Amino acid sequence: MNSRLAKVALLSVSAALALIVAEASLRLFFHAAPQLELDIYRKQDGLLLLRQNLVRRHVTRQWDVVVRTNSEGWRDQERGTSGATVLGLGDSFAFGCGVQAQESFYSLVEQSLGDSLINAGVPGTATVDQERLLEALIPRYRPRFVVLAFFVGNDFTETGFGGAERLEVVDGLLELKPIEGQDARTSWPRRLAGRSHLLQLLRAVQFRMEGSAQSGSHPRTWDAWMREFAQVHLRQPSYRAEEAIRATLASLDRIADRCSRDGIGLAVMAIPRSFQIDGDEREEMRAALGLTLEDLDMDRPQRVLHEWAARRDVVLVDLLDDFKARHAAGARLYYSPDANLTTQGHQAAAAALAAELAKNANL
């Protein structure tokens, strides 16, 4: 009996050591091994930024892409700090989650125009964060033009919640502080799965074996955050949503003022939410959130931005009608259930943005 227990103990210790060695090896030597949760973030002087000089491989059910950051901490090619023509700001859409770096709309616009465009997109940021980032980057890059990629699906809401103030960075990973209606606790299995490179690798392998979820067969999660995001598409949004819209417009005003003082051109590109162009997804959203058709005012965010842009004489690149037409023609512009743009979505956004920028005398 003692001999049997000794063998079990020896096997257990050996297995534990093997797992520790595998985890350590992935962390120290194989950073481009598949990861589901990218440990690419840092906070500095109140700004949410990307860690410099990293190589990661980001794998989900929808995509498998390489993520590299340069010495400045951007998902961009290496370049100097002077003579930038365009500074591109935004969140995961600007960063290019789900596509290779050269397939992102900022990269495609740079290729189209032949001018230097710095992609300073940081996933998880909101308009108020991009306002703060702009203050830090104008002296560094001295751009002639600024483009702000604005995702109507969450930028109003997240600015209302304080932007990156609602996020914590732990070991390079983002942790979202809960809101009312969510459990503040994170279970230890979920926390371990998010931090273990080995478990993420095994999960990524499972995704590859199952095949890509191109058909959108995996359901969306309509949680408390989604309920908040949907408020800007209602005829009678909550008081908190109205306050978020006012806070966002105030942030946009400060961005416009800063650019105006330095003689910098400004364009805002409004990226639609997928359920604004997909009727089936809109019905799913309506049913999941218990809304009626009379409750909805789907295009309200774009109208708000048009009114602001007209008042401030700012270029607004509104993708809504173009995306609706492309979707009706069969283009797959968004990953599903993830809301990020596909390669086709980035190509469509780049075409619209490049056309507007080409008209501007500053370029």
pLDDT in tens, 51-78: 999 999 898 888 999 999 999 999 999 9
The verdict on 19 and 48 lying in the same domain is no
Residue 284 makes CB contacts below 8 A (sequence gap 6+) with 220, 275
Q: Are the C-beta atoms of residues 201 and 33 closer than 8 Å to each other?
A: yes
Averaged pLDDT, 118-126:
96
Instruction: Please determine, for residue 317, whether its predicted confidence score (pLDDT) is greater than 90.
Output: yes
CA-nearest of 42, 28, 22, 192 to 124 is 42
93 vs 268: CA distance, rounded Å: 13
Whether the CA torsion 253, 254, 260, 263 is positive or negative: it is negative
Domain match, 169 and 22 both:
no
According to DSSP H, which parts of 65-187 are helical? Answer: 92-95, 105-113, 127-141, 155-160
Element containing residue 19 per DSSP (H, E): helix 2-28
pLDDT of residue 138: 95
Using the predicted structure, report yes or no on whether residue 309 has a pLDDT greater than 90.
yes
- Identify whether 69 is part of a domain: yes
215 found inside a domain: yes
Averaged confidence pLDDT in the chain: 86
Regarding whether 36 and 25 lie in a shared domain, the answer is: no
Of residues 257 and 226, the one with the higher pLDDT is 257
Query: What pTM, to 2 d.p., does this model score?
Result: 0.86
Which residue shows structure tokens 């997928």?
Answer: 274
| CATH number, position 200 | 3.40.50.1110
Q: Are residues 281 and 346 in the same domain?
A: yes
Same domain, 153 and 60: yes
CB 353 within 8 A of CB 318: no
Q: Is residue 363 part of a domain?
A: no
Does residue 9 fall inside a structural domain?
yes
Residues 152 and 36 occupy one common structural domain = yes
Average pLDDT over residues 121-137: 97
Task: Identify whether residues 271 and 251 lie together within a single domain.
Answer: yes
Single-letter code of the amino acid located at 281: E
The burial of 128, by beta-carbon neighbours within 10 Å (0-12 exposed, 13-18 middle, 19 or more buried), is given as buried
* Residue 2 domain boundaries: 1-30
